[in-house]
A and B are shown apart, each in its own frame.
Chain A
Amino acid sequence: DADVTQTPRNRITKTGKRIMLECSQTKGHDRMYWYRQDPGLGLQLIYYSFDVKDINKGEISDGYSVSRQAQAKFSLSLESAIPNQTALYFCATSDSKPPYNEQFFGPGTRLTVL
C-alpha cells in the first residue's frame, strides 16, 4: 500500500462549487504539505502543517483552506472553485528530525474547474 494517498485522483467541477481534496499518510510523519503544480511553474506551496495544532499559509494560500484532522490526515478545501485553480495538487509529508526533512509525495489529484 502507498505511504501517502490522495483522494480523489481526478475531479471535474464547476465554478463556485466547494471542493475538498483529502490526504492520508501511514509514514508516521508530523509534517504535511499541500502544493499545486502548474506547467512551467514547478511546485508552489499552498499550506503546511508541522503538527496537528500548527497550520501555516504558504506562498499561494488565497482561495484555499486546510484542516488537519489527525496526524495522518490533512485536507485541502476550495471554498468556491474558480477556473484558474485548475491544476495538479500534491500532498507531501516529512518527519521533523533535522536537518534533511526530505518530503514524500502522494500521487496527486488532477482538478479541473469549468
Chain B
Amino acid sequence: AQSVTQLGSHVSVSEGALVLLRCNYSSSVPPYLFWYVQYPNQGLQLLLKYTSAATLVKGINGFEAEFKKSETSFHLTKPSAHMSDAAEYFCAVRKGGNQGGKLIFGQGTELSVKP
C-alpha cells in the first residue's frame, strides 16, 4: 500500500535562504509523486510531478524535487526563499493498480518566510 509522510508540519526560513521540505513515500510499485502548493484561501496548485523520466524534476516558481529511490524520498527545494513562497505544501503519491488515479496526500507542511 502506498503512503506519504511529510517531516515537519511547519518550516520557517528567512527570505533568501534555502527551502527544504521533506517527503518520504512508501510504495510497492514504481511511484508517481507530486508536490502541490496551497496559498491562503485558495485551492491546491500543482508545483511539479515525478513521472520516472528524470530523477530531478523542475517545477514552477523555482522549485525542484529530487527522486531518490534508495531513500524513498522526494524532497522539495528552492535555493532562495521569497516572501511569496509562504504557503502550505503537500506531497502526494498516486495509487496504482485498479485504484489508479487516486492520490494519497501527506499531512502538509506550512512554510513561513521571514523578512
Chain A interface residues toward B at CB < 8 A? 4, 31, 33, 40-43, 45, 48, 50, 58, 90, 92, 94, 96, 98-108
Contact = CB atoms under 8 A, between A and B. Distances in A.
Contacts of A31: 101
Given A101-B100, A103-B103, A106-B43, A43 B90 contact: yes
Nearest to B101: A101
Main secondary structure of the interface of B (DSSP, over half): loop
Contacts, number: 56
B51 interface: yes
B38 to A, nearest CB: 8
Contacts of A96: 101
Give the residue among A42, A98, A100 with the most B Cβ atoms within 10 A: A42
B102 interface: yes
B45 interface: yes
A102 B107 contact: no
